[in-house]
Amino acid sequence: MRDPGLAEENDYSAWDLEGLDDDAAAARDAQPIILSVAREEGGQRLDKWLATRLGQFSRTRLRAWIESGSVEVNGRKAAVRQAVWEGDRIVVKPERTAEESAFVAEPMDLPIVYEDEAVIVIDKPAGLVVHPGAGNWQGTLQNGLLHHAPRLAALPRAGIVHRLDKDTSGLMMVAKTLEAQTSLVRQLQARSVVRRYLAVVHGLTPPDGTIDAPIGRSLRDRKRMAAFKSEAPGTRSAVTHFHTLALRPEAPGASLAVPVSLVSCRLETGRTHQIRVHMQSVGHPLYGDALYGRARAPDPFPRQALHAFALGFVHPGTGRQVGYRSALPPDLAELFLRLDLPVAAAAAAAVEDPGEDSVLDPGEGSHAP
């Protein structure tokens, strides 16, 4: 099963509904392993003997445990090359790998917008990694969720069904039961989940637009995604709709004036870095985007100016359409003021978005800033 955790933003296409519970067992804590040396095994070197008895672990890993003091022989820390003899009592205390630390519960002040027995809606701050991965095995949203609701350890990825980039702020939904997780994943796959974003981009955008371009790994830089003119091996269809809320021909007070636009984006699909890649592909990279942007902003911003401000879906428990809205985070609100962008327009976008039926009307489970 491909792990959707490989995707950095909203890429749900890799989910395998039949395998939703495949990795739940990884959340269990490893227990000490107690072994005894048989008569015919006496005289063997400890590391080789362990490799024979504990074939489920690699020799490199077993050796590392011995060197770190996690293996004892008769109550004393062991040495890699020491011999074992009949009757020796060997205790192995498995250490977590970096990957396994993803399932460690960590206290965290979670910005919860709504919670019941089936779902949690989180207003993720910029800077918080959603799902553990290379370089970020701890301190993630998943670690915080496991502390907040320990039963999530029984669910794949602690109930997380979609993601936001580390430096993208805004609303996310998390399932609390396997049934709810399956329902939300199916809604994502059916493209019925409503996700709207606010973005500040370079240049002056047209009133409305739709970007329909497959996304895949860049052929020049494998760390980046890219938009392609047509589908090709390794790409997936991707559609982004945008509506211009405000135009600023130049950034007031800046030493190097550049035009910027405030746009509302609506995802039809959810691919890795979709909005960032799509807007860059039409000549309007996100303000502050170090990966896809251009070094031309006279007023540096430490992250991409992207905020998931509205989220709507069918509640897995009640079957009712619910909607949630998020206010601008402080850093974006300050950027709006510096660039003379109307905060009021952003607030209005959270209530109504041209070209789409309103599913975010206040009601049961709704949240307004």
165 flagged as catalytic? yes
The 10 Å CB-count burial string (b at 16+, else e) for 70-93 is bbbbeeeebeeeeebeeebebebe
**Taking a C-beta distance cutoff of 8 angstroms, is the pair 132, 5 a contact?**
yes
Query: How many residues are recorded in the chain?
Result: 369
* Pairs from 95-101 (Cβ < 8 Å, separation ≥ 24): 95/64, 95/65, 95/68, 95/70, 96/30, 97/61, 98/137, 99/132, 99/137, 100/26, 100/30, 101/132, 101/137, 101/138
- The angle, 0 to 180 degrees and rounded to 10, between the axes of the packed helices 46-53 and 59-68 is 130
Which tokens belong to 335? 């950027």
* Distance, CA of 125 to CA of 111 (rounded, Å): 8
DSSP-assigned letters across all residues of 266-293: EESS--TTHHHHHHHHTT-PBTT-TTTS
Check 11, 123, 165, 167 and give the catalytic one.
165
Token pair 């350890």 is at which residue?
153
> Rounded to 5 degrees, what angle do the CA atoms 213, 16, 6 make?
60
Residues marked as catalytic: 165
